[in-house]
A = this chain, B = another copy of it.
Amino acid sequence: MTEGIRRLPSLNGLRVFEVVTRHLNFRLAAEELGVTQGAVAQQIRGLEAELGMKLFDRFPRTLALTETGRSYVTNIRRAFELISEATETLKPEPLHLTISVTPTFASKWLIPRLTDFTAIHPNIDLRILASDRIANFQTDAVDLAVRYGRPPFGAGLNAELLFDDVIVAVGSPLLVEKLGLPVQNDNFTRYPLLHDAHDFWPQLLELAFPNGPPTAAKNIRFNQTSLAIEAAIAGQGLALTSTFFVEDDIASGRLLRVLPTELMIDKDFYVVSPRKPRHPASVTAVRAWLSKAANR
């Protein structure tokens, strides 16, 4: 069996060769391969030099396979088809993975990034369990979770910091234009405050206005941060939220930072998973993706 395989020619060169034989045109082959014509020319030149024989005859404006090239590519193509088929056969049914997150995390961070995840991991079918209730790994069949808090999150669980919680005040640019920037006491008092379940406004106001917190014109309360954020986007008032949840909205101009003050919380967002996951490879893959997406 070992005797069947000698030193192989450049496999990348062979891959390029097979594509070129289908197009008989370096430019078109380059397009299929997603590289430049020069790269294709280089690979073919290298392969011809390595094999010591001419695979193509070059004519002005056209390319012809030599007899050598023609007979060779038949087997090379078969080999690549074999690899392709074997690899396709390998792929199992999409794997179901359940991730438990808060509704705000789901709507403001995870879901906007799902396209990226799906592109990278097409065989992992990610089920998102978005709930304010802390899901149970066993009874809820959760494979991993994003938790807000401080480790440890429980016995038999691994936790990895995803991102720090930094709370900032945000508002709609249109509202700011209408009421003026709320950095001064008198401007600020014109704004309705949008509250969520965290109730961070008192602490942040104390930081932002050391000479005495202003009184809000109005207070609107939501049970979820994401709802407060949506209301802020709609111009209903100012919301407090983690910087990570509004990075897309700030980038797109739907929201802007209305105060420079940042409130550091001693709880953060962690990726949490069991020490013995049911699907170790997939859990690892999701964890890796989460880390990368958060550091971007």
Interface, chain A (partner B; CB < 8 A): 1-2, 4-6, 8-9, 11-12, 14-15, 18, 22, 48-49, 51-54, 66, 68, 71-72, 74-92, 120-124, 281-282, 284-285
B52–A123 touching, CB < 8 Å: yes
A82–B84 touching, CB < 8 Å: no
Report 20 cross-chain contacts, Cβ distance below 8 Å, ordered by A residue: A1-B77, A4-B84, A5-B18, A5-B81, A6-B84, A6-B87, A9-B83, A11-B11, A14-B83, A48-B281, A49-B285, A52-B121, A52-B124, A53-B90, A54-B284, A66-B281, A75-B85, A75-B86, A75-B89, A79-B79
Cα–Cα, bound, A66→B122 (Å): 20
B5–A80 touching, CB < 8 Å: yes
Chain B: CB-nearest residue to A86: B75
Cα–Cα, bound, A85→B53 (Å): 16
B122–A51 touching, CB < 8 Å: no
B68–A79 touching, CB < 8 Å: no
How far, in Å, is A77 (CB) from chain B's closest CB?
7
User: What would 14 more interface pairs be, CB under 8 Å, given A79-B79, A79-B86?
Assistant: A1-B22, A4-B84, A6-B87, A11-B12, A49-B120, A49-B285, A52-B121, A52-B122, A52-B123, A52-B281, A53-B123, A72-B90, A74-B86, A75-B83
Chain B: CB-nearest residue to A80: B5
Could you say which residues of chain B place their CB within 8 Å of the CB of A9? 83, 87
DSSP class of A's interface residues: helix, strand, loop or mixed?
A: helix
Cα–Cα, bound, A83→B75 (Å): 7
Could you say which residues of chain B place their CB within 8 Å of the CB of A84? 4-6, 8
B8–A87 touching, CB < 8 Å: yes
The 6 closest A-B pairs by CB, nearest first: A75-B86, A11-B11, A79-B82, A79-B79, A4-B81, A5-B84
A83–B76 touching, CB < 8 Å: yes
Of the candidates B1, B54, B78, B90, which one forms a contact with A51 in the assembled complex, judged by CB atoms under 8 Å apart? B90
Could you say which residues of chain B place their CB within 8 Å of the CB of A284? 54
Could you say which residues of chain B place their CB within 8 Å of the CB of A123? 52-53
Chain B: CB-nearest residue to A22: B2
Chain B: CB-nearest residue to A77: B1
Of the candidates B4, B71, B91, B281, which one forms a contact with A85 in the assembled complex, judged by CB atoms under 8 Å apart? B4
A87–B51 touching, CB < 8 Å: yes
Cα–Cα, bound, A84→B15 (Å): 14
Could you say which residues of chain B place their CB within 8 Å of the CB of A4? 77, 80-81, 84-85
Could you say which residues of chain B place their CB within 8 Å of the CB of A76? 82-83, 86
Could you say which residues of chain B place their CB within 8 Å of the CB of A86? 72, 74-76, 79
B68–A75 touching, CB < 8 Å: no
